[in-house]
Chain A
């Protein structure tokens, strides 16, 4: 089985712009979660999508949003980028009735 894939792998944006990150889960997995990793805050949960519905949301401002498509692929959008949004964004998928989350390689976002 192919693993979780994320595109793009690297991204450089300017303050004020918006960005969309994409995540394709492992085949058959319907749950996709997003995490932000920074040196200062560590790994923080952003949100989880299951069957196109947001099931859980972390403590992030409304500039961070996401969605999931019928094929379980998920996108994450950040609007009005701030310097502090520079981070590694990881997505993870899990199967039904499983608590193990499998991570993609991440998207490194740099905001200048």
Chain B
């Protein structure tokens, strides 16, 4: 069974600064995808970024980028130039390519302060 762990329940950052959220996972699979989802107070779950395990290059989406370390089973999210609208719960998630079940971490509540 796969597990996903987010060891930071809460984090805060000043507007315009950079913050990194941590995620580790455990799997015996070699082919899988990793995601970061954002859930603002509206509770709508929004896909932020994805990473295919077979790709060595780290994914980037505008101000969001990941540091994917496959051997260490680590998948951190870096948010640059933080904005007030980035305030949300962030979930790291895993899915193996042979299935469709998303396994989520516990979440990190990020607060961006003005």
Contact = CB atoms under 8 A, between A and B. Distances in A.
A103 B44 contact: yes
17 contacts: A33-B100, A33-B101, A33-B102, A42-B104, A45-B101, A45-B102, A45-B103, A48-B100, A55-B100, A99-B95, A99-B97, A100-B33, A100-B50, A101-B100, A103-B46, A105-B44, A108-B43
Interface of B: 33, 35, 37, 42-47, 50, 91, 95, 97, 99-107
A11 B10 CA distance: 30
Given A42-B106, A100-B35, A31 B100 contact: yes
A99 B32 CA distance: 9
B contact face: mostly helix, strand, loop, or mixed: loop
Interface of A: 31, 33, 35, 42-43, 45, 48, 50, 55-56, 58, 88, 90, 92, 94, 99-103, 105-106, 108
A42 B107 contact: yes
A75 to B, nearest CB: 19
A101 B43 contact: no
Contacts of B47: 100-103
B97 A103 contact: no
A58 B35 contact: no
Contacts of B107: 42
Nearest to A90: B45
Contacts of B35: 100
Given A42-B107, A100-B35, A100-B50, A88 B43 contact: yes
